[in-house]
Amino acid sequence: MASENYYLASALPSLADLGSEPPLSLAALREQVSHAATARTLVDAIVLGDDLLQRDAALAGESRDVEPALLTAAQVRDEKPLPAYLAPAKGDETVPIASDAVWEAYFRHADAVARRRGSRFLAAWVGHEVALRNALAARRAETLNLDPDDYRVAPELGDAEEDFADLLGHWAGAKNPLEGTRILDTARWRWLNEHDAWFSFSDDELAAYAARLMLLIRWHRLSKPAAEEP
């Protein structure tokens, strides 16, 4: 409820523009909302996505230095099994890539949380993320003369009204993968600006804060290697 979240939302540090220093970690945010049941559940559904991104990077050999907010470091490194709700649906063999099956389970989990908690923001965020991820997967598959349907995840959850043609054009023209990721995250930031529940002090405002903080942290994480080069 808005009245219950007034102090909580007011106590959180403000978030500057994309590219700025994150003022707290996702784990610290979870601690901040630990006593607000609905807000905590929505925040968890969002920040879990960052844990899975770190898991993908670890499995690809890109990084072993993980800082998960919800999963354990062993789960992110694939040394321990993931929670049951991230397992593919029984008998579902439609997703050929193991990591895509995890993401499909994740998005369906987040959508279920949104419906159970009545979160319009989380439902819209899932729809946007699924639609964007599937648009990217389809573009990559078409480039390789593969069937795009084999690489889409949870297509029923994607926002059918989203049009990513211009964004994909800019992404395809990126000079390197890092620039491409930043193009996508800049578009995600714009989407949050358009859908953030500003000053409502609602659970959805806290969920949007989590999504915004997650992008700041991701941007900061991607900037580290370049900043540390001699």
- Burial class of 151 by CB neighbour count within 10 A (0 to 12, 13 to 18, 19+): buried
| Residue 29 within a domain | yes
| Residue 191 within a domain | yes
Distance between first and last Cα of the chain: 50
Q: 136: which residues sit within 8 A by CB, 6+ positions away?
A: 168, 171, 184
| Residue 133 within a domain | yes
Mean pLDDT for the stretch of residues 97-120: 95
- Burial class of 180 by CB neighbour count within 10 A (0 to 12, 13 to 18, 19+): middle
d(CA 38, CA 180): 34
Residue 173 · residue 5 · CB < 8 Å: no
CA angle 84, 86, 87 (to 5 degrees): 70
Residue 191 · residue 182 · CB < 8 Å: no
Of residues 4 and 208, the one with the higher pLDDT is 208
pLDDT at 97: 78
How many Å is the maximal CA-CA distance in the chain?
54
| Residue 13 within a domain | no
| Residue 76 within a domain | yes
CA atoms within 13 A on the CB side of 149: 2
Q: Cα dihedral sign for 136, 61, 54, 175? A: negative
| Residue 107 within a domain | yes
Mean pLDDT for the stretch of residues 128-135: 98
Question: Distances from the Cα of 141 to the Cαs of 83, 101, 102, 135, 164, in angstroms?
Answer: 30, 17, 19, 10, 16
pLDDT in tens, 16-70: 999 999 999 999 999 999 989 999 999 999 999 999 999 999 999 987 789 999 9
Number of structural domains found in the chain: 1
Domain with 69, as residue range(s), is: 21-225
Question: Residue 214 corresponds to which tokens in the numbers above?
Answer: 């997650």
| Residue 92 within a domain | yes
d(CA 122, CA 85): 18
pLDDT in tens, 81-97: 999 999 877 655 555 67
d(CA 105, CA 97): 13
| Residue 81 within a domain | yes
pLDDT at 201: 64
Mean residue pLDDT across the chain: 90
Question: Residue 31 corresponds to which tokens in the numbers above?
Answer: 């601690």
pLDDT at 3: 52
Q: 151: which residues sit within 8 A by CB, 6+ positions away?
A: 96, 97, 100, 134, 137, 138, 140, 141
* pLDDT over 70 percentage in the chain: 90
Q: Cα dihedral sign for 74, 79, 80, 83? A: positive
Question: Residue 14 corresponds to which tokens in the numbers above?
Answer: 């403000």
